[in-house]
Structure 1
Amino acid sequence: MSVKRRDDGRWLADVQPIRGQRYRKIFKTKAEALRYEAFIIASKAQDPAWNPKAPDRRKLSELIGLWFDLHGHMLKDGERRKAKLDALCTRLRNPVAALIDAAAYAHDRRVRSQSGTSPKTLNNELGYLRAVYNELRGLGQIDYANPLELVKPFRIEERELSWLTSEQITVLLGAIRDGCDNPHVEPITLICLATGARWSEAEGMVPARLRSGAVTFSKTKSSKVRTVPIDPALELLIRNHWKRYGQFTTGSINAFRRALDRSGIELPQGQATHALRHTFASHFMQKGGNILTLQKILGHSSLAMTMRYAHLAPEHLAEAVRLSPLAGLSLVSNA
């Protein structure tokens, strides 16, 4: 790399700032040739190829820790997510985060699926790991694409929502009253049936959230506060219960499950207490309730979730019969 005078009196700038790239140009004066040389060097210095960054060799565990420090700690379930991510990191043998092998991840997922881990859990974990990369890239902590971006989640078949009939509700409440060793189970169950609340929301109720004929739920799954009116008789029952037994305590769910077993009512796995929420929503729609009102009562963040109950509306059921291709046809054989 140099500036040299030619035999004809002109000046040659022969610049090679990067191996394999050479720039040559002739000028009338030495000053012009020197300025050209400086320009080429300065412009190539801005090129990443001129001074390439060292590859990011941080381990996956380091990125998980960084994600939690910068973002995860603010999430309601941040600690739980980090525990899941740490376990996944251990199973993958803590690889270099930028070089994580999508095939190795997919193999771990297959092994866990075969051992009984549900597709929903595996999809959640994939989402958590993707979020680590996406969040850190958004914060400028990494500059490479998410290596798991193209890994597809499992397709999950929609489960049928189980709900209780009026007769089953009577049987269940009877089983709770007859043999339950936890006095809090009955009022919590009634709150869930009357408001569509999740078990944890009803169990976490305190006297300050019951007033003027309505219950208010805070610290919900969607992080939104919602208020649902209840029957005055139920309000009185709850207040009398608190006077006699004190506020609800955690751990009542196990006593509820034992009562459900005694009732003989069979529900799909994982839908024990949640069936109470489905029961409220199903009866609400069957009795002509408005789908938008139901969304607000249940606290769903999107109407799409609430639409799962729309098929139970009376007008929907009536149209299924009225618009059937068999409508108007005689189904009685003449033979």
Structure 2
Amino acid sequence: MASNIKWHKTKFPGVRYREHETRKHGIQPDKYFAITYKYEGKTKTEAIGWSSNGIKPQIAANILSELKVNQTQGKFPQTLKQKKEMATNHLKEKETRELAEKEKGITFDEIWSQFYRPQAKSNKAATSWKREESLHRIWISPAIGTIPFADVSAIDLERIKTNMAKKERSPRSIQYALATVRQVYNVAKKMDLFNGDNPVKKIKMPKMDNRRTRFLSEDEAEQLLEILKDKHHQLYIIALVSIYGGLRAGEIVNLEWKDLNFAEGMVLIRDSKNTLSRHAFMTKRVKKELREFRRQTDPTQKPVFSAQKGKKINEVSRSFNEAVDELGLNVGIDDRRQKVVFHTLRHTFASWLVQRGTPLYTVAKLMGHSTLAMTERYAHLAPDNLRAAVTVLDN
């Protein structure tokens, strides 16, 4: 400690104090207490604290006495530093024990409802959250809901797989259910509610090829657009943008007028599925229809497309499925990958481009794919290009 500080003795040997220059504790100056003693042959001085924080000479003397007795008997702590470290470690051990006890009792469903559900509902898209909640209600909760969170095992999770497989749920749905469980454990760990291993790591995910491969022919697309134009004009525009721009439904319903550059024929897609913004391009037909739509709607409307009373569109209108049924596009088709849904329009955009010789890399950029592997599903649609590449060997 600094030599210019004036220390005062107390009636307790080894206990002294200094006074604060300005601060008072009651009517007297605030006092800072320290203890001085021998440890391993050296004089050691350690601070105890201020009287304003509850420290009194007797308390300092008791601490000093404890340390001296421990030195004599070979016990610990023998210094104030050791005493503080032991107190901190004891507190951590206590917290660990309490957490362990808490983990033993709280069930999976309690973690879900009290901690996971509130943050997921506020942070995720409505469609994603509704899917998770449905999987929890039908498959996850019946299997592991009442089991203590820390005790859920791989066997318990296999029960979810088995139950879903018996009801002929797709591998993708099973994978989604297990991924939801995994997210619950990840959130619990981040919130310090659980410190064990994520049990989903021990589960083998079902193999699958859940990619949709169906796309529309030009005749089918035109027939579908014509029906939509009569049934639901706004949905017709939305479908047109997807077929000729490759946009996802969620990207379209989030568009604002400021994102549409009619002069350049460009569409800015902000915060897409892969979190990166990108540009799409308007065909002459898309530009014409969007301009006409703007003239018919409130120019201040946000977003461009909205549900009744200006509310945000959360899902594609039933009119789309009605139009598909009217054309009979899904008659006799059991494989869901071959069924026509709204997302089929985006696949149609990519498929048409590849059929017309557009390089896969370009298609990937226009689609907003994060990897070229996602676009390779369309490679078989360019047989003439592939055949032409091999003919160079004939020369």
TM-score in terms of structure 2 length: 0.61
CA shift at 1:72, angstroms?
A: 7.3
Report the 3-state secondary structure (helix = DSSP H, G, I; strand = E; otherwise coil) of the residue aligned with 2:317.
helix
Q: How many residues align?
A: 292
Displacement of 1:129: 0.9
The answer on whether the counterparts of 1:182 and 1:252 sit within 8 Å (CA) in structure 2 is: no
Higher helix share: 2
For 2:115, which of 66, 73, 85 is the aligned residue?
66
In the alignment, the residues of structure 2 paired with residue 70 and residue 171 of structure 1 have an alpha-carbon distance, to the nearest angstrom, of 43
User: Which residue in the other structure is 1:186 paired with?
Assistant: 236
Paired residue for 1:258? 322
SS for the counterpart of 2:295 is helix
What's 1:168 paired with? Answer: 220
**Quick one: structure 1 residues 265 and 60, their matched pair in 2 at CA, closer, same or farther if it must change by over 3 Å?**
closer
Structure 2 counterpart of 1:195: 245
TM alignment of 1:37-52, pairs within 5 A: 38=76
Cα distance in structure 2, aligned partners of 1:255 and 1:75: 26
Computing the radius of gyration from Cα coordinates, the structure with the larger value is 2
Question: Helix, strand or coil for the counterpart of 2:353?
Answer: helix
Question: Residues 243, 71 of structure 1: CA spacing in aligned structure 2 closer, same or farther, 3 A cutoff?
Answer: closer
Percent identity, aligned pairs only, is: 23
Change (3 A) 1:70 1:204: closer
Match of 1:17 in 2: none
Counterpart residue number, 2:355: 286
Q: CA RMSD in A?
A: 3.9
Residue pairs, 1:241-280, within 5 angstroms: 241-244=293-296, 248=305, 249=307, 250=313, 253-266=317-330, 269=336, 271-280=340-349
Specify whether residues 231 and 125 from structure 1 end up closer, same or farther in structure 2 by C-alpha distance, changes over 3 A only. same
For 2:170 and 2:209, the matched residues in 1 are separated by 12
Q: Which amino acid aligns with 1:60?
A: F
Which stretch of the first structure deviates more once superposed, 280-289 or 113-122? Answer: 113-122
SS of residue paired to 2:111: helix
Q: Is the contact made by 2:274 and 2:368 (CA closer than 8 Å) also made in structure 1?
A: yes
Alpha-carbon shift at residue 194 of structure 1 (Å) = 1.0
Q: Which residue, 287, 307, 310 being the options, matches 1:235?
A: 287
Output the CA distance in 1 between the equivalents of 2:147 and 2:389: 55
Confirm or deny: 8 A CA contact 2:354 2:360 kept in the other structure.
Answer: yes
Deviation at 1:96, TM superposition (A): 0.2
1:106 Cα deviation after fit:
2.0
Query: 1:129 & 1:109 partners in 2: Cα distance?
Result: 12
> Structure 2 vs 1, CA of residues 44 and 85 (structure 1 numbering), >3 Å: closer, same or farther?
farther
The 2-side partners of 1:100 and 1:150 are apart by: 11
Deviation at 1:242, TM superposition (A): 3.5
Deviation at 1:90, TM superposition (A): 4.8
* Worse-superposed segment, 266-275 or 72-81: 72-81
Change in Cα spacing, 1:76 to 1:144, as seen in structure 2 (3 Å) is same
CA–CA distance in structure 1, aligned partners of residues 244 and 267 of structure 2: 10
Structure 1 counterpart of 2:63? none
1:111 & 1:224 partners in 2: Cα distance? 38
Query: 1 or 2 for the larger relative contact order (CA 8 Å, sep ≥6)?
Result: 1
Amino acid at match of 1:255: S
CA contact (8 A) 2:329 2:340 kept: no
